[in-house]
């Protein structure tokens, strides 16, 4: 039985635990700094199992020692955005949290893989790499699955078709400079540009880029968590089932897309080894330009950290 630990029992973390529990994919430990919070949610979720019909063991804890022997650790600890904030505004607080969390993962679960979800995503995943000292393929971030899900849902609404038939691809940093790729987005195998005009696509691209902020503005306190937690589950399943799924993920680059020593959203093959391959796509000039800008802004964020 696999063991999954989720650090941070807030909206994203606890909802991810709920989804994972329902799948019965492994035993789960959920930790948080707030005393009682993970324990209370773990009890509640196990009681839900009596209704929903799952037997997943869920343990809430405030002690890192309980993550020992985890196969996979998902980091959702940190503060979330409030209206008017960019993901980058979270950088200092969350970098401190990430350092503490990742060094404890290295201490108590040295054989695990790490999926980081805390924002600003690509920068915090870099912090997780450095603070854990893990090999880079074992540390990656959840961003592109979520951004692609947002793009796919807007496309399905526009075309009045099933969301299930849309396979979207969004790469680049998880921020205002992300790069949705219409030419690699299909609806039942049909390339998106054959179904929608350039103007319509560009308006959906724009809404996708602002997709997180749109929800933050509506919620007023806190940020999205249903689609983020669903996106975590997709990645956890790919790793635990060693299914070699190709999904956009924040992966450590070693020259791909002309980038080195940076975490960046790219199509990645996920399996038991973590990121087993990064796929390079041909892009048009404008996409390449935005990609470079996006990478530059991540580098700026990393340069400002004291690692």
Cβ distance to ligand APR smaller for residue 39 or 186: 39
Q: Is 11 in the site for ligand APR (CB under 6 A)?
A: yes
Q: Find the binder of ligand APR among 117, 216, 233, 268 (CB under 6 A).
A: 117
> Could you give the residue numbers annotated as active site?
174
Minimum CB separation of residue 64 from ligand APR in Å reads: 9
The stretch near ligand APR (CB under 6 A) out of 43-51, 77-85, 165-173, 272-280 is: 77-85
Count residues contacting ligand APR (CB under 6 A)? 29
Nearer to ligand APR, 99 or 269 (CB): 99
Q: Does 119 bind ligand APR (CB under 6 A)?
A: yes
Query: 87 to 116, contacts with ligand APR by CB under 6 A?
Result: 90, 94, 97, 100-101
Binding to ligand APR (CB under 6 A): which residues in 139-198? Answer: none
Is residue 24 within 8 A of residue 56, CB to CB? The reply is: yes
Which residue among 40, 49, 222, 271 contacts ligand APR (CB under 6 A)? 222
Is residue 9 near ligand APR by the rule CB under 6 A?
yes
The distance of closest approach from Cβ of residue 75 to ligand APR in the complex, given in angstroms and rounded to an integer, is 8
Q: Which is nearer to ligand APR, 76 or 186 (CB)?
A: 76
Q: Give me the residues that bind ligand APR (CB under 6 A), please.
A: 7-13, 31-34, 37, 76-78, 80-81, 90, 94, 97, 100-101, 117-119, 222-223, 225, 228
């Amino acid at each position: 039985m696999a063991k999954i630990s989720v650090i941070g029992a807030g909206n994203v973390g606890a909802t991810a635990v709920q989804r994972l529990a329902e799948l019965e994919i492994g035993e789960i430990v959920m930790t948080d700094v707030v005393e009682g919070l993970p324990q209370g949610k773990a009890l509640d979720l196990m009681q839900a199992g009596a209704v929903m019909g799952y037997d997943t063991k869920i343990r809430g804890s405030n002690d890192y020692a309980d993550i020992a022997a985890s196969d996979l650790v998902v980091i959702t600890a940190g503060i979330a955005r409030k209206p008017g904030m960019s993901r980058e505004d979270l950088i200092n607080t969350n970098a401190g949290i990430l350092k503490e969390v990742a060094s404890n993962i290295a201490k108590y679960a040295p054989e695990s893989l790490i999926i980081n979800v805390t924002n600003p995503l690509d920068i915090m995943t870099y912090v997780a790499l450095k603070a854990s000292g893990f090999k880079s393929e074992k540390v990656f971030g959840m961003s592109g699955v979520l951004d692609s899900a947002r793009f796919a849902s807007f496309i399905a609404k526009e075309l009045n078709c099933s969301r299930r038939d849309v396979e979207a691809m969004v790469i680049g940093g998880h921020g205002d400079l992300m790069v949705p790729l219409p030419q690699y987005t299909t609806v039942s195998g049909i390339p998106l540009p054959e179904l929608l005009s350039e103007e319509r696509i560009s308006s959906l691209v724009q809404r996708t880029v602002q997709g997180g902020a749109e929800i933050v503005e509506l919620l007023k306190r806190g940020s999205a968590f249903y689609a983020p937690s669903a996106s975590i589950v997709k990645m956890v399943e790919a790793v635990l089932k060693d299914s070699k799924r190709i999904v956009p993920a924040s992966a450590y680059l070693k020259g791909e897309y002309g980038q080195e020593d940076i975490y960046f959203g790219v199509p990645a093959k996920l399996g038991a080894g973590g990121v087993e391959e990064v796929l390079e796509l041909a892009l048009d000039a404008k996409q390449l330009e935005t990609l470079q800008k996006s990478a530059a802004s991540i580098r700026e964020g990393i340069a400002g950290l004291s690692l």
